[in-house]
Amino acid sequence: MTAPMTGPDPETIREVLRRLRARQGPFRPGAPLPIIDQVVATVLSQNTSDVNSGRAFARLKERFPSWEQVADAPPDEVADAIRPGGLAAVKARRIQEILAEIERREGRIDLDRLRGLGDEEAEAYLTSLPGVGPKTAACVLVFAMGRPAFPVDTHVHRIVTRLGWVPPGTTAAKAQALLTPLVPPEIRHELHVAFIVHGRTVCRALAPRCGECELRDLCAYGGAVPVSGEG
């Protein structure tokens, strides 16, 4: 009978980050957005590139100076503003549902009250909003609130699966639940960002550059790729 996977130990995780940092240079976290802005920006980031989601967010803010105006606007106008991000009709409906629910609960469209909540309470609040799952909540916690969350997006999911940190077939949500307790809290933000950069440049979905990867000797997938077959 095969023993259950226990995941990577903290020393391995720190070594992975050390190697990625050596390649990528110093970690420079971006300026945090207001909590509500981060919620909307993360919804817009789903199933699209950062460039397209950033363009959609900028157009939304330009078209509607306040979140109250977004909440009250005709859905097709919101969809038109965020069209560069893809799935515009679906995302417009979701954003308006979220804003309406926040206004119902808080009496205004503002989430600054979450700063006074503990990590688990804030996460529970966020995931209780329409369509906000664990990854979106973790992004809000780490990027807007400076909390020690570890979001597992497409890039992170691909990398941790290839490294063998989670069993094959593990969903992103399950991977996040498994790995968050294992990643030292003080490096979760930095490791998340380092993995995203690594996923875009080296550990790509198609034609990963295993031959130039500094994690290859630690990687179940990369170690199985013959040198002659690398992209």
Q: Which residues are catalytic?
A: 135
Separation between Cα atoms, residue 167 and residue 101, nearest integer Å: 37
Kindly state the tokens that stand for 2: 């095969």
DSSP 8-state assignment for residue 109: S
Residue 131 phi, psi dihedral angles, 5° rounding: 75, 10
Tokens 């679906």 found at: 90
Please, which residues have CB within 8 angstroms of residue 104's CB and are 6 or more apart in sequence? none
Cβ neighbours of residue 228 closer than 8 Å, sequence gap 6 or more: none
**161 touches 203 (CB < 8 A):** no
DSSP assignment string, 40-52: HHHHHHTTS-HHH
Phi and psi, residue 168, nearest 5° = -55, 140
